[in-house]
Amino acid sequence: MATVVTAVESVLEARGIEKSYRRGVWPVARRQDVLRGVDLALRPGEVVGLVGENGSGKSTLMKILVGALRPDAGTVAVSGRLGYCPQEPVFYERLTCDEHFELFGRAYKMSAEDERRSRRNLYAALGFERYAGTRADQLSGGTLAKLNLGLALLGDPEVLLLDEPYAGFDWDTYLKFWDLVAGRRQAGRSVLIISHFVTDEGRFDRIVQLRDGRAGPR
């Protein structure tokens, strides 16, 4: 009798994910199959890159993994908390960075003390404490991206999903970002990152490529 042994359980497991979009309007509407049965698993402490041509469905898959979009078929199982950083920063124009952290800390049900400690660490790790009292609508694009990443990390999620997180980062911040990711890996936390830069490949434990609607090794 064959015995199947799973050494380490996945913290996130997607199976058979399918998604198509309708394009155009009747009578010339047609379906575009974007995902045609994607399987993807993340193990604890794994840092995985998600790559693929423009339009291959990376953002669509990530939205499905976080539950922001319903797949046409397939299942997603997540164990633990999930942090998500969308491609376009989501923020409240009139709230300061500090107020964003307070708000998200409450949403994550963190104690005020834990929230403040985590916030301080994130300001230091990403270097934007000087904007703590600045309203979001007065922040630069790069600082907004830091705030977005900080909010995704505030509750120390088991799984972190990032959609092109460093497009607006300067070099110093880019390096700080990878230090932060290395810290996640060491703490046994998992990170899935949509990346466009081939030069980043060495920084991942594994690269998953989306091609023709399916996920495979690069």
Closer residue to ligand ATP in complex, CB, 19/189: 19
Min CB(210)–ligand ATP separation in Å:
7
**Chain residues 177-196 in contact with ligand ATP, contact rule CB under 6 A:** none
> Residues 6 or more apart from 70 whose CB is under 8 A from it?
64
Residue of 16, 21, 183, 188 that binds ligand ATP (CB under 6 A): 21
What type of residue sits at position 74? G
Regarding 59 and contact with ligand ATP (CB under 6 A), the answer is yes
Residue of 3, 6, 54, 199 that binds ligand ATP (CB under 6 A): 54
Shortest CA distance to 48 belongs to which of 93, 13, 92, 7?
13
Regarding 55 and contact with ligand ATP (CB under 6 A), the answer is yes
Q: What DSSP letter does each residue of 141-180 carry, written as one string?
A: HHHHHHHHHHHHHTT--SEEEEESTTTT--HHHHHHHHHH
Regarding 52 and contact with ligand ATP (CB under 6 A), the answer is yes
Regarding 216 and contact with ligand ATP (CB under 6 A), the answer is no
Q: What DSSP letter does each residue of 103-125 carry, written as one string?
A: HHHHHTT--HHHHHHHHHHHHHH
Closer residue to ligand ATP in complex, CB, 59/173: 59
Closer residue to ligand ATP in complex, CB, 34/139: 34
What type of residue sits at position 96? T
Regarding 197 and contact with ligand ATP (CB under 6 A), the answer is no
Shortest CA distance to 195 belongs to which of 150, 217, 162?
162
| Binding piece for ligand ATP, criterion CB under 6 A, among 48-56, 91-99, 109-117, 133-141 | 48-56
Residue of 60, 118, 148, 173 that binds ligand ATP (CB under 6 A): 60
Cα separation, 205 vs 188, in Å, equals: 13
Residue of 46, 47, 49, 56 that binds ligand ATP (CB under 6 A): 56
Classify the phi-psi angles of 204: left when phi > 0, otherwise alpha if psi is within -120 to 50, otherwise beta: beta
Q: What secondary structure letter does DSSP report for 96?
A: B
* Footprint of ligand ATP (CB under 6 A): 21, 34, 52, 54-60
